[in-house]
Amino acid sequence: MLLPSALRPDQLLGPAPAGEGDRSPAPKFRIGSPGAPSLVPTLTIAVFDNSGSVVSPTGTDPLSNRFAEVEHAFRAVARRAAQHELGAVLHFDSPCGGDVQPTPISRRGMASLRSGLAVPSDGAGSSCLLPSLRQTVRLAEGRPEHATTLVVLSDFLLMDSDPAAALTELAEFPGDVHAVVLGSWVDTDAFDSRITVTPIERDDPPGAVARALFRSLVARRPGSSVADPR
């Protein structure tokens, strides 16, 4: 069931990130320990919804802080890099200039990953999941030796012709699926039981999105842990 939101977006993800030529200072929140590299090759794909209900002044993330927090999570893993652990970034407008194909989550690879962590200049702000979802399936099927996790960051106010069918197709992704639900628009019981759901609510402290992605990034890394947000 869709519900109107009372979300105050300026409190959702904390202060705005710095400009393109100036990196923001180190976050004051903790996300946890990345542990050791995974024993198997992995691929984590982050997919971003940049529709008006997310990025507009009354949206769930008008300051684009989800990008800064996702970068922080990738960086935490990159400090203990392994070439067989890959990350990718796609957007609902995929294919677009903001897409980043699978690249090692390493200090060197962060330059590529960071290039996708912004609203793409050639994006139309699509609210449709399926174009990017089908791109992620091709990425996963092209790397069968990798254990793949798909992380979708969206308010899930989908404009696909059949939103319920789109969510069913999401659950059928050939790998693990993590829905990071921005705001309180959609009930968590709208998702199939095969999908891990992390709601990001108005009262969550800064770092909630970073911890959500970090949880997926380190799921197969020995000795890793995710920090308690309190």
**pLDDT tens across 12-25, in order?**
544 444 333 334 45
What is the tally of structural domains in the chain?
A: 1
In a domain, 28, yes or no: no
**Which residues, at least 6 apart from 183, have a Cβ–Cβ distance to it below 8 Å?**
5, 7, 12, 60, 155, 200, 201, 202
What pLDDT shows up at residue 228? 87
The answer to the question of residue 11 being in a domain is: no
* pLDDT < 50 regions, the chain: 1-11, 13-24
This prediction has a pTM of 0.89
- Name the strand (E) or helix (H) holding 154: strand 147-154
What does residue 215 show for φ and ψ, rounded to 5 degrees? -60, -40
The alpha carbon of residue 206 and the mean position of all alpha carbons in its chain are separated, in whole angstroms, by 15
Range of the domain at 46: 41-222
Residue 2 lies in a domain: no
Q: Give the pLDDT confidence score for residue 25 in this predicted structure.
A: 52
Q: Is 187 domain-assigned?
A: yes
What is the predicted pLDDT for the residue at 81? 85
3 in a domain, yes or no? Answer: no
Query: What backbone torsions phi and psi does residue 196 show, to the nearest 5 degrees?
Result: -75, 130
* Residue 47, domain CATH: 3.40.50.410
Query: What is the SS3 assignment for 151?
Result: strand
Compute CA distances 138 → 102, 134, 164, 174, 213, whole Å: 12, 6, 21, 10, 21
The whole-number pLDDT of residue 18 equals 38
Whether residue 6 is contained in a domain is answered as no
The CA-to-CA distance between both ends of the chain, in Å, stands at 30
